Structure 1
Amino acid sequence: MLASHDASALNDILGTIDVYMTKRQKAHVPLLRVWESDDPHPQEDYLDCLWAQIKNLRSAGWQEKVTWRLYDSFPGLKEAGQPHHLPPITPPEYDTEVVYPIPRVIFRMFDYTDVIDQDDDDDVAAETADGSPKPKESPVLPGAHTIERFLIDEQLSILMNNLSFNRAL
């Protein structure tokens, strides 16, 4: 919604984040790697991956397909809503007393290239009724730098954390 109501404010925020992301040091990444090689799946810093996902979402016009849009059921309320004023964001200065989150490296065991679609093996040259080739469907899993992948990863992480002590499951 901010992209449609106040694009300049959003661009200012994203520009500030982009400057930070290009200046930050990543000395921790080689130390936190699970494997020495990036084959078959690259290991990257969590914030770098999230920033790539946000930039990908921005280039896609802020459209994603995972989140439920309950407000679409109530267009009258959506149109009557007032836009919020977004004040400038000033990050606090570094403080030695504050416990900051530790850096993480994204470790993925598989991606969309690892999922085999059983239908692909059965009909290599599948055609529609009019004889034109059957259009290729989208991958089963979203790509590593899509916001959909981030949302699915976060939901799975929340589920595992919440159910980790439930021995009945």
Structure 2
Amino acid sequence: MFQVIFFSDLVNCRVITVDSFVDFLGDLINSASQTGIPQVRRDWFVYVFLHCLPWVGQELAEKNEEQLSAMLDIVESYLQSRNKEHVKILQVWMKSIHEQEEYLDCLWAQIVKLRSDKWKEKFITRHYVAFDGTFEPPPHTTSSIYPLPSVVFRFFDYADCPDDGPVLPGAHSIERFLVEEELRWILDQEKTNRKKCASRLLEYDKRTLVPINYVILEVIFSQLFHLPEAPTRLIFYGSLLIELCKTKSMPQVNKF
């Protein structure tokens, strides 16, 4: 996943040509269209394709709009036809004002909005380094393991956050996806050190653009409630929340 994002940014600095990267994305889409393979494999290829578009979507739209549109049409058709019986099983809330969306459906809506915004976002810091190579997805084997489908957990919307601070991006805003993804990376990288993890979360470099404490809580609880199991030990999340609450900057904590 991270390599594909890295390759996406290399297209922007002309290290990888647009045509070669479009061919690579086409291979991903074709792999997702194959029959006789698990849906989780097809879902993974579609997720990787959509995930890289915040980085490279504008460049592709400028240089190869026709092929990008064709791939997006294929993805839309796939998403409309895929089996989503797992959604109700994975939802945390039975009834909630915050919609519990299937993760690919939510990311698709975010990409559609990003496209309507002409692929402009304000969260990605772009670093360009040289790289060269030829890429294609490996063949599927019976031992291949893919991430399981999931539901996007929602705890807050903009009305829950203070009026005098930054506005929480909407559920279908690509900025919401990007900031949540970066916070999940921090949780994964620092899962053995609660103090360092809390410090990095609170010092997140885009913290002035979003109500960071609310987003941190939402991401932590999304992992706590993740089915069939949390990404790491539950005791880590409990100890991390204690560290965060010590700052008295988390929602409701400063009232006690």
Q: TM-score, normalised by structure 2?
A: 0.47
- Structure 1 residues 148, 167: CA separation in 2 closer, same or farther (over 3 Å shift)? closer
CA distance in 2, matches of 1:104, 1:29: 7
Q: Does 1:24 align with 2:51?
A: no
The match for 1:151 among 178, 202, 219 is 178
Quickly say closer, same or farther: Cα 1:91–1:9, change in 2 above 3 A: farther
Alignment of 1:42-121 (within 5 A): 42-69=99-126, 96-118=142-164
Instruction: Name stretches of at least 5 consecutive residues in structure 2 with no aligned partner.
Output: 1-58, 129-134, 197-256
Shift of 1:90: 9.0
**Larger gyration radius, structure 1 or structure 2:** 1
Q: CA offsets per residue over residues 88-137 of structure 1, 9 Å max, x none?
A: x9996x75442222110111211222112148xxxxxxxxxxxxxxxxxx
Alignment counterpart, residue 7 of structure 1, candidates 48, 53, 65: 65
- Give the gaps of 5 or more residues in structure 1: 72-86, 120-138
Write the letter of the residue equivalent to 1:165. Answer: T
After superposition, the Cα gap between the structure-2 partners of 1:110 and 1:24, relative to the gap in structure 1 and judged at 3 Å, is same
Question: How far has the Cα of 1:148 moved from its partner?
Answer: 0.5
Distance 1:36 1:163 in 2: 32
Which structure carries more helix by proportion? Answer: 2
Does 1:160 find its partner at 2:184? Answer: no
Cα distance change of structure 1 residues 53 and 167 upon mapping to structure 2, 3 Å threshold: closer
RMSD: 2.5
Higher relative contact order (Cα pairs below 8 Å, separated by 6+ residues): 1
Secondary structure of the residue aligned to 2:118 is coil
Q: What is the number of equivalent residue pairs in this alignment?
A: 132
1:42-80 Cα offsets, whole Å, 9 max, x none, are: 101011100100111111111112123568xxxxxxxxx
The percentage of counterpart residues that share the same residue type is 47
SS of corresponding position for 1:54: helix
TM-score normalized with structure 1 length: 0.69
1: CA distance, partners of 2:144 / 2:68: 28
